[in-house]
Structure 1
Amino acid sequence: MTNQYDIIVIGGGPGGYVAAIRAAQLGFKTAVVEREHLGGICLNWGCIPTKALLRSAEIYHYMQHAKDYGLSAEKIGFDADAIVKRSRGVSGQLNGGVGGLLKKNKVDVIWGEATIPKVGEVVVSAPKKVAMQPQHPAPRGTLPAGTYQAKNIIIATGARPRVLPGIEPDGKLIWTYFEAMVPPTMPKSVLVMGSGAIGIEFASFYRTMGAEVTVVEVLPQILPVEDAEIAGLARKRFEKQGIKILTGAKVTKVVKGANSITATIDDGKGTQEITAERMISAVGVVGNVENLGLEKLGVKMDRGTIVTDGLGRTNVPGILAIGDVAGPPMLAHKAEHEGVICVETIKGLHTHAMDKAKIPGCTYCNPQVASVGLTEAKAKEAGYDIRVGRFPFIGNGKAIALGEPEGLVKTIFDNKTGQLLGAHLIGAEVTELIQGFVIAMNLETTEEELIHAVFPHPTLSETMHESVLNAYGRAIHI
């Protein structure tokens, strides 16, 4: 029957559509249920459109500093509507691309909201309108709401912005990343609550576009998951750009005006009030686990996410989960890889749980930050006797030629075995460099292989080589 499948994936984001395509490649009859937009938050309201906004900000920054490159530019300005339009256009193009990929792989798309009344059955109802997430028209060829059967149901419903009581976003004065991505006009001042990747990227964007920006972080350092040394360098650069940063502080109260907010900030020593035209709430995300019927099925949860065995399987046979809804780290590339592992496990292929210590993290602010593995503090806490290598961008010819001499590559090795435990980078294009260390860690490469590898000249990647050399007292250019 047409409504019977081997696998139904609930959610068409990075994890969901990748899982569906891999399932189809393995010969499974597969369908994806999607209620809003193929590509999920990442493609439509997260990873991709923010990078488009940040690219516009980067070009604007270079135009403002044309003299540094022997160039001249006059009457520099920007069109906020055009910047947003370009960002939305990039998302729209990729959204259509996901639909094309699913069609190419003969994956059915069922348009609507899913519930799981019992194992093996998915009931899809017409999608509801969700604020700030306008639904694209259902792609051609999609199937209607109804009841469908599947031997395996993969939950890939993603996550949404976390809301703090008393500081709820209203879409006008207090924004989540949805509203921050489509400003009707550029605000003159912005207060960002939270300094993780989302908060820092928006702080960087709005500051580059001319807004006065204040970042409030409850923890002692910004970019809390990053190595403390790298986070400290990032803070200096941000403050040099004019971003005001308050750490060890929290927003305790927000009063809304006609076209501004006034926030009360408590740093443990006292309070202060900051007024800004807009506030961005970037205090994390929570899994979309509601209204699926999981409680009735007895699916085990932990802190708002679904518990799995590392291969996507929950405690209920036939119910699986991947991506943000299956817990941290809540990253698109983690979701995609989990989707492949999950489907290959269903197929009976030899699989193993992902090593989350080898998942890279990237923040696309100015300067960029990227990392993989243990921080220096975590390595010491784990009991390792470590060697630490550092190499600054100022010693790299390509960085100087690019006009990007401020940056650092930091590597951490086990002194006993030479194992690469972690790598932490800040500077131009480090989000593109980090994959070299990711591959090295997955291949269990030691310092010896990295030292004897030949890196091309002149490239930024030479900073990676020199950092390894520095850990063993062999750096050449410092």
Structure 2
Amino acid sequence: MPDPYDLIVIGAGPGGYVAAIRAAQLGLKTAVVEREHLGGICLNWGCIPTKALLRSADVFRVALHAADYGLVVQPAPSFDLAKIVARSRQVSGRLNAGVGFLLKKNKVDVIIGEARLSGGGRVMVEPTKKAPMTPQAPLPKGALGPGDYQAKNIIVATGARPRVLPGLEPDGRRIWTYFEALKPEALPKSLLVVGAGAIGVEFASFYRTFGVEVTLVEALPQILPAEDQEIAALARKSFEKQGIAIHSGTKVSGLEKRADSVVATLTGADRASRQIEAERVLAAAGVVANTEGLGLEELGIKIERGVIAIDGFGRTNVAGVYAIGDVAGGPMLAHKAEHEGVVCVEAIAGKNPHPLDKGRIPGCTYCHPQIASVGLTEQKAKEAGFEVKVGRFPLLANGKAIALGEPDGLVKTIFDAKTGRLLGAHLIGAEATELIQGFVIAMNLETTEEELMHSVFPHPTLSEAMHESVLDAFGRAIHI
């Protein structure tokens, strides 16, 4: 058996590789076990490649409206799907190699295989039995192979996979998960997207931009269920204006596969049913944690609602075993996993970090228009008993947004009327996913409305809408 490690991390996704690097920085002898891809689903088949695809969609959308900017594009803009997909894969490949470089730079051992906890700090690593869902990425030079490893501490960071709904089992051809949706050989004429959360609306936005007839189905009454109701309503209006058909409060109650299409039966809250035919179906109803095959049950590690139960520092109920990221529960976001990994490792190293505050984790959706939020929605704030002051500022009144040709959008802020505490911020429109971090920092610093109102925002910028939204909450907006 090799010499024991101070820490073995199982899973090299965003949470796992960041935790491993931070552990090495703190002087811990560290290894990370990965069965498929350095960077995990996020870097290889999630966050990064989808953003590369959506960037192509953004550029194409602007090209289609070149005349609005006084530009002449002749002949009419067109696209090469194979090159769009290839660019997306190249972006992921570059970052995959980058993760390998960072692990090597920080002297983190990489072990390739499937890990199983055997108790007493033992991690048994066997060759990957399951055929990879995607082509295997090149293994980092010097990677270790299967074997019996020992560690004082173990972090489980095995992530999550697409949720499979009964009757919507993917077949890789007519019924897709996001794996197939990321690398289509040809665009379908029509696409039924089941699930209108972040994954669903991002793919709906991408495919619609390139001319696919898209139908979006959501079981809950509101699309983007995690978002503020007002923001979600504006998003729906924009999506429908783009030609996306939306059925909320609706379930897929039946599915009939045909030679090269699917006929879906949609049933609404009123129990009325209708049928629609689509060439392809994308199942985008969330993800489930990868807890199986790790030996967790045998060790008595507590599982709650399908995820590993942890405290604010990633500790499980079994000493020396920790969990971070999607496998440890929501919000299932890469940046949450990364921060959770750092907190966990610093706690292991005795650095006394602050526990993760999930109420200050931003969420971003990269559809068109972009959507971003942090903190409580207006409804949740009221349900929590707060007396609230709400500010709104439309991008239609923002000079930079008008100059960009992106005047549709809103910045909404929610404050505690008694203390001036910022409870939540919700944005829809141009660069919302970049702007949200200003509010995240403000919340983390416990900034009050007065401090925000007295901050100077540069002109002309989209960020001025953030300032005006704060002013509006207290009856002081200037430009509306």
Q: Which residue of 1 aligns with 2:99?
A: 98
Aligned-partner SS, 2:372: strand
1:14-25 to structure 2, matched below 5 A, reads 14-25=14-25
Aligned-partner SS, 1:275: strand
Aligned-partner SS, 1:53: helix
| CA RMSD of superposed structures (Å) | 0.8
Displacement, 1:380? Answer: 0.4
Displacement, 1:351? Answer: 1.8
Displacement, 1:165? Answer: 1.3
Aligned-partner SS, 2:276: strand
Q: Which residue of 2 aligns with 1:237?
A: 238
Displacement, 1:131? Answer: 5.0
Match of 1:371 among 363, 370, 373: 373
Distance 1:100 1:473 in 2: 52
Displacement, 1:156? Answer: 0.2
1:234-313 to structure 2, matched below 5 A, reads 234-269=235-270, 270-313=272-315
Q: Which residue of 2 aligns with 1:418?
A: 420
Asked if the contact 1:119/1:319 (under 8 Å) is kept, the reply is no
Q: Which residue of 1 aligns with 2:154?
A: 153
For the pair 1:62 / 2:62, whether they are aligned, the reply is yes
For the pair 1:82 / 2:83, whether they are aligned, the reply is yes
Report the residue type matching 2:479 in the other structure.
H
Asked if the contact 1:433/1:461 (under 8 Å) is kept, the reply is yes
Report the residue type matching 1:29 in the other structure.
K
Q: Among the aligned pairs, what percent are the same residue?
A: 71
Distance 1:81 1:307 in 2: 43
Q: Which residue of 2 aligns with 1:381?
A: 383
Distance 2:344 2:400 in 1: 42
Question: What per-residue deviation string (whole Å, max 9, x for no partner) do you get for residues 304-334 of structure 1?
Answer: 1000011011000011000000001000000
Displacement, 1:72? Answer: 1.3
Q: Which residue of 2 aligns with 1:318?
A: 320
1:154-233 to structure 2, matched below 5 A, reads 154-233=155-234
Q: Which runs of 5+ in 1 are unaligned?
A: none
Aligned-partner SS, 1:67: helix
Report the residue type matching 1:295 in the other structure.
E
State the TM-score, normalizing by the size of structure 2: 0.99
Distance 2:323 2:132 in 1: 26
Aligned-partner SS, 2:420: coil
Distance 1:339 1:433 in 2: 25
Aligned-partner SS, 2:151: strand
Aligned residues: 478
Q: Which residue of 2 aligns with 1:126?
A: 127
Q: Which residue of 2 aligns with 1:44?
A: 44
Report the residue type matching 2:96 in the other structure.
N
State the TM-score, normalizing by the size of structure 1: 0.99
Q: Which residue of 2 aligns with 1:437?
A: 439
Q: Which residue of 1 aligns with 2:345?
A: 343
Displacement, 1:127? Answer: 1.4
Aligned-partner SS, 2:199: helix
Distance 1:293 1:31 in 2: 19
Asked if the contact 1:54/1:365 (under 8 Å) is kept, the reply is yes
Displacement, 1:129? Answer: 4.2
Distance 1:442 1:465 in 2: 17
Aligned-partner SS, 2:12: coil
Q: Which moved further from structure 2: 136-145 or 291-300?
A: 136-145
1:462-473 to structure 2, matched below 5 A, reads 462-473=464-475
Question: What per-residue deviation string (whole Å, max 9, x for no partner) do you get for residues 86-140 of structure 1?
Answer: 0000000000000000000000000111001113000111113435322113211
Displacement, 1:61? Answer: 0.6
Aligned-partner SS, 1:354: coil
Report the residue type matching 2:34 in the other structure.
E
Report the residue type matching 2:49 in the other structure.
P
Match of 2:331 among 329, 332, 342: 329
Distance 1:48 1:338 in 2: 20
Distance 1:456 1:7 in 2: 46
Q: Which residue of 2 aligns with 1:8?
A: 8
For the pair 1:390 / 2:392, whether they are aligned, the reply is yes
Asked if the contact 2:2/2:150 (under 8 Å) is kept, the reply is no
Aligned-partner SS, 2:353: coil
Aligned-partner SS, 1:290: coil
Asked if the contact 1:370/1:430 (under 8 Å) is kept, the reply is yes
